[in-house]
Amino acid sequence: MQLIRGAIRTYAWGSRSAIAEFTGRPTPTAHPEAELWLGAHPADPAQLEGPNGETSLLDAISADPEGQLGSAVRDRFGDVLPFLVKVLAAGEPLSLQAHPSAEQAVEGYQREDRRGVPLNSPVRNYRDRSHKPELLVALGDFEALAGFRPAARSVALMRALEVPGLVPFIGLLADQSDASGLRALFTTWITAPQPDLDVLIPAVLEGAVSYIRSGAKEFASEAKAVLELGERYPGDAGVLAALLLNRISLKCGEGIYLPAGNLHSYLEGMAMEVMANSDNVLRGGLTPKHVDVPELLRVLDFTPVLDARVTARRDGIELAYDTPTTEFAASVLTVDGDDLGHEVDAPARHDGPQILVCTRGSVVVRAKSDEVRLDRGAAAWVAADDGPIRLEASEPSRLFRATVGL
């Protein structure tokens, strides 16, 4: 078991304080810090801290895949850590995006290779051959748009805004089945000529302002989201797309799961993420980065999502989040109450590796080979041959734990 130092990614939508405060560094930072990567992705592997300095987790796995990953994980995924953990801090809304399925990722990667698009090119969509299902667990209040809502609810929202320019689009959506109507309307908006957007979007923003001023409550959060996006990204078709997505507010510890094809945008807040070990993103707007609308339309799933939230099951000190993925499993380990001052066993998942991140308090983690103290913002790598783990804390504390899925 070793302490692990994550790689910080600086994007415009990040925060100059959230991740720095979380990891105990001075604020404000020179650049907005958006993500802290804790994993072995080739683009930015984390560093293991040892007596002789730091070693890339990617190199450590390559040097001893059996000890680091375990035979069961190697049999399923080869000599690769199949998941990636991130601390995410959204100071501004992220791009409107979706991730490909496993088959789409392989096909897209090979297609861009044949076209000679360099892996580090800003216009490259597929940087690896993996799909990217992901789970997000809020570290506080967190706001998101995730998944197409049922068409009838979107029709009700657009009618509530009372914008004459939306009338033909309401008809387009209402006259078809949910998935077909959502595909037709989203495609119409996302490919609309800019002059048309420059007329419709301001009208929608005026409708949102009027709705909020009226004191109506039913769609207040949706109207506020549209206004915020319209102010940050004037004339962007993604502002209209927000009318079709579920508006989700999470409290600390609540999570959402995003499978392949789920259109989403994180709006504000700080969270833990765990995902398949991939960096494949298809963007459709709300960003200065590369946008590829035709490719996004290829991967999107227009089936309405009733609720993207995940259920969680408690097993002793562990709250485990239910997802269908094999690449990862995630849970929160809490030491409080009568457990304080005593060593407690963390439920054993299996014999694979673990990444632990302290999100509250301070915990001493003991494994076979060693023990480490994790204060808030600190992380540890537990190799497959070093588990199971035991925990001890003198104050209420939490660990986010990521492992390989069963």
Length of the chain: 406
Selection from 181, 301, 296 nearest residue 237 by Cα: 296
In a domain? residue 292: no
Residue 235 tokens read as 């004339």
Q: What is the pLDDT of residues 77-116, one digit of tens each?
A: 999 999 999 999 999 999 999 999 999 999 999 999 999 9
- Is residue 231 domain-shared with residue 156, that is, in the same domain? yes
3-state secondary structure of 92: coil
Domain-terminating residue out of 281, 298, 333? 281
Q: Is the pLDDT of residue 387 over 90?
A: no
Hey, which residues are catalytic here? 283
- Is residue 222 domain-shared with residue 116, that is, in the same domain? no
Selection from 327, 321, 404 nearest residue 130 by Cα: 327
Residue 285 tokens read as 């707007």
| Number of domains, the chain | 3
In a domain? residue 44: yes
Round the average pLDDT of the chain to a whole number and report it.
95
The pLDDT assigned to 176 comes to: 87
Residue 104 tokens read as 């789409």
Q: Would you give the DSSP letter of residue 5?
A: E
Q: What is the pTM of this model?
A: 0.94
- Is residue 26 domain-shared with residue 87, that is, in the same domain? yes
Contacts of 248 (CB under 8 A, 6+ apart): 143, 144, 145, 146, 256, 308, 309
- Is residue 130 domain-shared with residue 188, that is, in the same domain? no
What's the gap between Cα 326 and its chain centre?
Answer: 17
- Is residue 33 domain-shared with residue 140, that is, in the same domain? yes
In a domain? residue 90: yes
- Is residue 332 domain-shared with residue 193, that is, in the same domain? no
Domain coverage including residue 223: 148-245
- Is residue 167 domain-shared with residue 103, that is, in the same domain? no
How far apart are the C-alpha atoms of 38 and 31, rounded to whole Å? 20
The pLDDT assigned to 52 comes to: 86
- Is residue 140 domain-shared with residue 160, that is, in the same domain? no
With residues binned 3-state (H G I as helix, E B as strand, rest as coil), the percentages for the chain, rounded to 5, are 30, 30, 40
- Is residue 136 domain-shared with residue 160, that is, in the same domain? no
Q: What is the pLDDT of residues 275-302, one digit of tens each?
A: 999 989 999 999 988 899 999 999 999 9
Q: What is the pLDDT of residues 7-19, one digit of tens each?
A: 999 999 999 999 9
Query: The CATH number of the domain where 329 resides is what?
Result: 2.60.120.10
- Is residue 177 domain-shared with residue 38, that is, in the same domain? no
- Is residue 18 domain-shared with residue 128, that is, in the same domain? yes
The pLDDT assigned to 363 comes to: 98
- Is residue 189 domain-shared with residue 164, that is, in the same domain? yes
Dmax (CA) of the chain: 68
